[in-house]
Amino acid sequence: MEVTALRIRLLISVLFLLCAFNQKAYSVFLRVDPNRLQFFEYEPVTFHCEGVKGQVLSCRTTSRQASKHVSCYIKNIFLEDSGEYWCEAEGGERSNSVNITVTDHSVILESPALPVMEGEAVTLSCGNKTASFILQTDFYKNGHLISSSSTGEMTLHSVSKSDEGLYKCSISGVGESPESWLTVRETLKAVPPETCPSSDDAFLILRTVLPLVMMAPLLLLLGLLHCGRL
């Protein structure tokens, strides 16, 4: 009986550790303001690390704060600032990463910096550095023309995994943007903290299931002994 009780306690501990891991997996989060992957050279960009006290890596100006929001503000972003950004908690926990492209050309693709969820509507815009008026704009996915627009925008309605790929845009007489990858995430139901069972609920569940699990090897052994006698 003491061994059984010990096993039940161990299984309860594992259950609560899994719940804690599920909650911790989303505690550090990086977002970009403005929310896009491409920037003209000398534009201002802010990286926000949310969830825990930490710092933004690969950043020339890091602001440390005592609160749970840490920001990195770059007043003038340069070509050499292109690359992968993430933030890291003091305990070593790493956030999602964002791959930024900085260009000295006249056209950028304005696409979401973070993954979009399946079923959402996503609007891609073509930014023109040299003119404020809208010209004929073409949008490409994986090198193939998929849409032409007179508004400078293209909307993907109810995106799915098939919409993932490298996107770019081209403005007639001005130029084309670099390519950026659009990531689409499947809709997953994360386990909220309140769904983690209490210690009493977990004990009742395991007290019911564990005896059945422990009886299985015994029944198998009895069956083998019975077959041996026959």
CATH number of domain containing 45: 2.60.40.10
123 domain residue, yes or no: yes
Specify whether 47 is located in the same domain as 64. yes
7 contacts 14 by C-beta, under 8 angstroms: no
What is the predicted pLDDT for the residue at 72? 85
Enclosing H/E stretch for 15:
helix 2-24
Specify whether 176 is located in the same domain as 114. yes
Q: Rounded mean pLDDT of 173-186? A: 94
What is the predicted pLDDT for the residue at 174? 92
| Of the candidates 77, 8, 68, the residue with the CA atom closest to the CA atom of residue 46 | 77
Specify whether 38 is located in the same domain as 90. yes
206 domain residue, yes or no: no
Specify whether 56 is located in the same domain as 114. no
**Which domain covers residue 159, as residue numbers?**
106-186
Cis peptide before 34 (omega within 30 of 0): yes
Specify whether 86 is located in the same domain as 142. no
37 domain residue, yes or no: yes
Look at the alpha carbons of 160, 165, 171, 177 in this order and tell me if their dihedral is positive or negative: positive
The reported pTM is: 0.66
% of the chain surpassing 70 pLDDT: 62
What is the predicted pLDDT for the residue at 166? 97
113 contacts 84 by C-beta, under 8 angstroms: no
CA–CA distance, 159 with 179 (Å, rounded to integer): 19
What is the predicted pLDDT for the residue at 133? 79
Number of domains in the chain: 2
Specify whether 144 is located in the same domain as 156. yes
Three-state DSSP class for 13? helix
The yes-or-no verdict on residue 107 having pLDDT over 60 is yes
145 domain residue, yes or no: yes
% of the chain surpassing 90 pLDDT: 47
Tokens at 107, concatenated: 């056209």
191 domain residue, yes or no: no
What is the predicted pLDDT for the residue at 10? 47
